[in-house]
Amino acid sequence: MVSIKTGSIVKSSAGRDKDRFFVVLGLEGNFAMIADGDLRRVDKPKRKKLMHLKPTRSRLDLPEAPGNSLLREELRKFCQKNFDQEGGGVVV
C-alpha cells in the first residue's frame, strides 16, 4: 500500500473537492495539509482527514516554500501523463 507523505500527490475522495488532485504540504496527526495552487492555495491549505484522501504513486520533491504556480504546473503534468485516453479517467 502506498502511504501519504509530504510531497505526495493525492486524490480527494470526499467533500466538495471530491475527485480533485492535491499535493500534501504537511501532516498533522490524522490530517494532511493539502493544496493545489488553484482552489486551495499554498498560503491557506486545506486540512483534510487522511481517510478522505487516496494516495497515488507519485511524489514531488517540494522546495522549502513551493509556489502556487509550481503546484498547478506539476498537477497539470501529472494529470496529462496519467490520463487514460480510452476510459476518460485518470489512472491512479
CATH code: domain of residue 36: 2.30.30
Domain that holds residue 14: 8-82
Q: What is the residue whose three cell numbers read 489512472?
A: 91
Kindly tell me if the per-residue pLDDT of 26 is higher than 70.
yes
Q: How far is CA 21 from the centre of its chain?
A: 4
* pLDDT score of 82: 84
Q: Which residue type sits at 70?
A: L
pLDDT in tens, 30-54: 999 999 999 899 999 999 999 999 9
25 located within any domain: yes
Whose cell is 494529470? That residue is: 79
Predicted TM-score (pTM) of this structure:
0.85
Residue 92 lies in a domain: no
Helix, strand, or coil (residue 2): coil
What pLDDT digit, counting tens, does each position of 2-21 carry?
A: 789 999 999 999 999 999 99
